[in-house]
Amino acid sequence: MTNSFQALVVRENTDPSGAPLTAIETLTDADLPAGDVVVDIDYSSLNYKDGMALTGAGRIIRNFPMVPGIDFSGTVASSTSPDFGVGDPVILTGWGVGERFWGGYAERQRVRSEWLVQRPAEMSSLRAMAIGTAGLTAMLCVLALQDGGVTPTSGPIIVTGAAGGVGSVAIAILANLGYAVTAVTGRPEEHDYLRSLGASDVIDRSALAAPGKPLQAETWAGAVDAVGSTMLANVLAQTKYQGVVTACGLAGGTDLPSTVMPFILRGVRLQGIDSVMADLATRNRAWSRLATDLPESALDTLTEVVPMSSLAGRAATILAGQTRGRLVVDPHS
């Protein structure tokens, strides 16, 4: 029996000045790429990279045709891997899926077993994608802060790009763990939302947008930065002695107009965070903590479920920083 299913397929536009061509198509198992596990997908999510893939920004897609979606959750439908059996609940994030390999914007997908993790028993498939790549990245930032010795008594944590997916989840986790969190956003209408997640203070991004002195008043014990560029440079300059700054995004640019002074005079640590190629042990540790450290009430507050058919219009908004929290994608609608 040949299974048919719906998938969002991106095809190359022969006009190099145009965006890729996207359409929901009916595919069969014969169309699926190589791999040893087939997954019936429940949900995916919309991340910054997905917005780039759907609009053609940054040429994130390496080959065509492509099914985007850098993460998904679902149930194993068939497997030749000894590590997974039919009916296993699984999560996939990263590994170039949705960029080099077909991803989560489909009702069904075939992937390599080494890309999958078992979904925690206490976590629903919907909750897994409400967390998704952005939430996994946020948890990795929190773990790096803790591994670096930053505790709630160390001082406040600053979170930039706070209304986005990474920032929203990071605030909810940190507040639940007892940290005082300052959120940074350029959208005044999101202040109440950020406070509802647990932010104790909210500041406008303009306060960190202009170039500043290489060393500024010691303010932050740690940081979760999803912006980069001048904002990250200012955060570093304001970080306390032996503080930890985690860098996981580049919404504001890829440059870092800073100096070595925060590092050699204050012992500040700049810790890069990568969720794409993180090893299995790291992923399992993060998902285990997400199952316990992220309150469901906060996750509900920051989550919206959207149909796969709406993604073409949603892609531009996430690139423009106009989305709030997490957008879970239902591939069945």
Residue 19 and residue 100 in one domain: yes
Answer yes or no: is 277 within a domain.
Answer: no
Asked whether 38 and 78 are in contact (CB, 8 A), the reply is: yes
297 occurs within a structural domain: no
Q: Domain for residue 218, yes or no?
A: yes
Instruction: Mark 212-229 as b/e (b = at least 16 C-beta within 10 Å).
Output: bebeeebbbbbbbbbbbb
The terminus-to-terminus CA distance of the chain in angstroms comes to 24
> What CATH number has the domain bearing residue 74?
3.90.180.10
Which domain covers residue 210, as residue numbers?
Answer: 133-272
Domain boundary pick from 256, 272, 288: 272
In a domain, residue 18? The reply is yes
Token output for 4: 């048919």
Pair (67, 145) in one structural domain: no
- Shared domain for 178 and 50, answered yes or no, is no
Main-chain phi, psi angles of 119, to 5 degrees: -75, 135
Residues 232, 323 share a domain: no
Same domain, 207 and 261: yes
pLDDT at site 80:
98
Helix, coil or strand: residue 30: helix
CATH number of residue 229's parent domain: 3.40.50.720
Prediction pTM value:
0.94
Indicate whether 115 and 159 sit together in one domain.
Answer: no
> Among 272, 288, 315, where does a domain finish?
272
**For 13-51, how does the pLDDT look when each residue is reduced to its tens digit (9 = 90+)?**
877 777 889 999 999 999 999 999 999 999 999 999 999
Give me the residues of the chain with pLDDT under 70, please. Answer: 1-2
Domain count, the chain: 2
Per-residue pLDDT tens digits for 66-112: 999 999 999 999 999 999 999 999 999 999 999 999 999 999 999 99
Single-letter code of the amino acid located at 8: L
CB 235 within 8 A of CB 257: no
Inter-residue long-range contacts of 148-153, CB under 8 Å, 24+ positions, other chains counted: 148/222, 148/244, 148/269, 148/271, 149/242, 149/244, 150/221, 150/222, 150/243, 150/244, 152/177, 152/178, 152/179, 152/180
